[in-house]
Structure 1
């Protein structure tokens, strides 16, 4: 008989295999069980009728639980894996333990006769030859802290005629601990006094263990999410503290006619949680020259940004000490090779001398700087250099490039466009797309305007990592 709860449901069911379909099926099944329970309500107070009604009650109870869990799944909670190595007070159950999951009992208060079903003996691990437990001895099998609960339920049933509905834990003779759900009612005599008490007991140990696993996994997930949020916040704060907080163009050195007009920007990854270890920097050095650098370390999160802070700090210190770009790369390579947490990195380091307009530079497995002049662009020919941290004792070459007034130099990290085979076969990479901006770079009045061209070009793309771009325009 269909349930009245579903008279307003559409005739066409949801597609099978979806969470909505499972929820709809669970609701329909619950309605059918309700109908069966109503049909058995008039079967009298015989043992079979009580057994059927109790089983229907239990089925409704578990279908309600199933509906709630499917509702949580629909809301986006992650699937819960089968618990592995979950601590338990009892050994693992075997297939034999699952044969008698539901049992019935009846205690006659007038004759002290006790009747147990065969399944109930299996649940309690009690041999049938030992006979069923009297009601006053049932509590001896329970955990001590659960005994008051059983006493209260039985008292309410016998004295006040209330139905029994509760759970408690028992210790079987073999030492196994099981959780039982007990439902029962008093049977009154003609005088309205309790004559017998019947009950249906179900072993719900695995269900409760599964619920505990769900609860523990959800708590663990929340903790991991909170840790991830904290780490991301720390990584963002560290990145903001280390990278120059430029809001426009700067000049290096400040009082020279051939100084650099410099601007930079960091483009975040599509997934904002994947904060990487990319950097950009420009410094005026004590001898009047200027440092330009971009680079990045592998990885994400606090470890990547803290490593970036270490490398950038070392790079700044060595540049201030007058170390040339080539040897400087060698020292950075040794620093990463000897660090507590070894990492790989790529970088380009340039030193600009305004008096001669000469750029000296070195690279470590990094895209070469792009030079734009008179509306055309090209990549500088890179000197020898492997990834930082990849080869102990690696030697890094150094190249020079003479610049002209109005030249635009673009340094960038390799995260502007995502790598992979999907960008093969004629689709332009980051360098080609930047070179296509040559006319705009030549007509741009400042380095900041050049950076705006880059951000507009790459703002809509999918990026797996952060990307940094630094633009330097040679003064007239």
Structure 2
């Protein structure tokens, strides 16, 4: 209920009733359109983007409801009986007005303001000195500063504070007001429009929360895609048996496979690799790190790169694992890992190998299989000063070596998976390629229910 004279401008003339009715019709049409689209989205579904969209639609409807109620008040005048709102409007008025006369210390409130503050309309309106008693203690300085700036410096009021209603509920109120000047140019009174914005702010918080959740979800998806792609980027992209390029037919027949976990969100951190070295020897390695996620997947890529570099420089398996253990201890996020590192010497058909907390390779010969005698070797990252012993094994043409990561072998019905794996010896005969043997292992161990990724690498001595 502004005074005819304010601090900086005369009071605006009310718009024509017909123009307000037209705005109300447009607002309600838009509300119906927004609500129709809103009903097609879910607020409780698993998709973060859909929840964010629903929150935005809810916020838009809150704002349109407020606009509808404001236009209805503009049409009907500043004072009207409390009761059901017009169709589509708020059930309780959310905008009220007040004027405080500084000369008489009298306050005049509209009925809507009593509803907003939860006060009895039969009681006298609160004075400016009494109003802070309704406000939360931490918001009182803000209200005091706004009112003081208005009365002393003739500054407009535009701010929010929270009030505690007599029933204990807390409402957020947005207050806009101006000083009203008297004939002598001094401040005679102050008028204000107070709006209950509790639901609006709640909807805005929901939008912010769902938006933040959506951003986190997208970052996680991006990180997951990057990490999930690292194994494919750094491990050999084998889709069948592979002969290393410079050894000709009389060397090793190689094949490998990565068995994914049943849960697609888990990121594998196991690796396999075979690399022809400068001296004509061959590197064979499998390993993995504990944990999951982008950091661990990138650590796996780093370790595999280090293995390749040291192997190419001629570092023997035991020394290589010793250096790899020290490298893992110096990383920003220390973790544990395991690995088997082998060098195959084709001139003598000798396998020189070492392990770090990893299952030993299996050797299949003449229809039987057995574990290679394992040298000592603590897990990577467990003890920075560890040194790793080596073992040398003579091989024959037709022998099959099988290297695998630990996740391949869960316990099974009282019989260890190693026994099951050794029991495949009769299916790994001389007539089967390395790829045939890998397919047999995948068929046996790659069924549903796998909790972790696993890798298997087969190498058959061809001559």
* TM-score band, normalised by shorter chain: 0.5 to 0.7
Runs ≥4 residues deviating over 6 A: 68-71, 101-107, 124-127
Aligned-partner Cα distance in 1 for 2:395–2:414: 31
Q: TM-score, normalised by structure 1?
A: 0.60
- Residue 114 (structure 1) shift: 6.8
- Residue 305 (structure 1) shift: 2.3
Give the conservation status (yes or no) of the 8 Å contact 1:276–1:305.
Answer: yes
- Residue 410 (structure 1) shift: 0.5
Match of 1:130 among 125, 134, 156: 125
Alignment partner, residue 120 of structure 1? 115
Name the SS for the 1:457 alignment partner: helix
Alignment partner, residue 270 of structure 1? 262
Alignment partner, residue 433 of structure 1? 420
Q: TM-score, normalised by structure 2?
A: 0.61
- Residue 385 (structure 1) shift: 0.6
Alignment partner, residue 237 of structure 1? 229
Note the aligned Cα RMSD (angstroms). 4.0
Q: What are the within-5 Å matches in structure 2 for residues 57-72 of structure 1?
A: 72=42
Match of 1:393 among 370, 385, 396: 385
Give the conservation status (yes or no) of the 8 Å contact 1:116–1:132.
Answer: no
The Cα offsets for residues 94-127 of structure 1, whole Å up to 9 and x where unpaired, read as: xxxxxxx9789999xxxxx977499637448999
The Cα offsets for residues 331-390 of structure 1, whole Å up to 9 and x where unpaired, read as: 000011112232221100011112221111100111111111112111112111111111
Is 1:178 aligned with 2:172? yes
Alignment partner, residue 465 of structure 1? 452
Name the SS for the 2:338 alignment partner: strand
Alignment partner, residue 83 of structure 2? none
> Structure 1 pair 473/124, CA: closer, same or farther in 2 (3 Å)?
farther
The Cα offsets for residues 38-95 of structure 1, whole Å up to 9 and x where unpaired, read as: xxxxxxxxxxxxxxxxxxxxxxx9xxx9xx89983553468x9xxxxxxxxxxxxxxx
Give the conservation status (yes or no) of the 8 Å contact 1:253–1:259.
Answer: no
Aligned-partner Cα distance in 2 for 1:106–1:255: 89
Q: What are the within-5 Å matches in structure 2 for residues 362-441 of structure 1?
A: 362-417=354-409, 423=411, 426-429=414-417, 431-441=418-428
Aligned-partner Cα distance in 2 for 1:106–1:343: 62
> Structure 1 pair 121/338, CA: closer, same or farther in 2 (3 Å)?
closer
Give the conservation status (yes or no) of the 8 Å contact 1:363–1:384.
Answer: yes
Is 1:332 aligned with 2:302? no
Alignment partner, residue 24 of structure 1? none
Structure 1, unpaired ranges of 5+: 1-60, 81-100, 108-112, 134-140, 145-167, 181-200
Aligned-partner Cα distance in 2 for 1:264–1:428: 22
- Residue 244 (structure 1) shift: 1.1
Is 1:361 aligned with 2:360? no
Give the conservation status (yes or no) of the 8 Å contact 1:276–1:297.
Answer: no
Is 1:217 aligned with 2:209? yes
- Residue 315 (structure 1) shift: 0.8
Give the conservation status (yes or no) of the 8 Å contact 1:258–1:405.
Answer: no
Name the SS for the 2:407 alignment partner: coil
Give the conservation status (yes or no) of the 8 Å contact 1:296–1:308.
Answer: yes
Is 1:227 aligned with 2:219? yes
Name the SS for the 2:243 alignment partner: strand
Alignment partner, residue 451 of structure 1? 438
> Structure 1 pair 119/375, CA: closer, same or farther in 2 (3 Å)?
farther
Length, aligned pairs only: 328
Alignment partner, residue 351 of structure 1? 343
The Cα offsets for residues 152-208 of structure 1, whole Å up to 9 and x where unpaired, read as: xxxxxxxxxxxxxxxx9865799x97248xxxxxxxxxxxxxxxxxxxx99662x44
> Structure 1 pair 121/442, CA: closer, same or farther in 2 (3 Å)?
closer
> Structure 1 pair 104/386, CA: closer, same or farther in 2 (3 Å)?
closer
- Residue 427 (structure 1) shift: 4.7
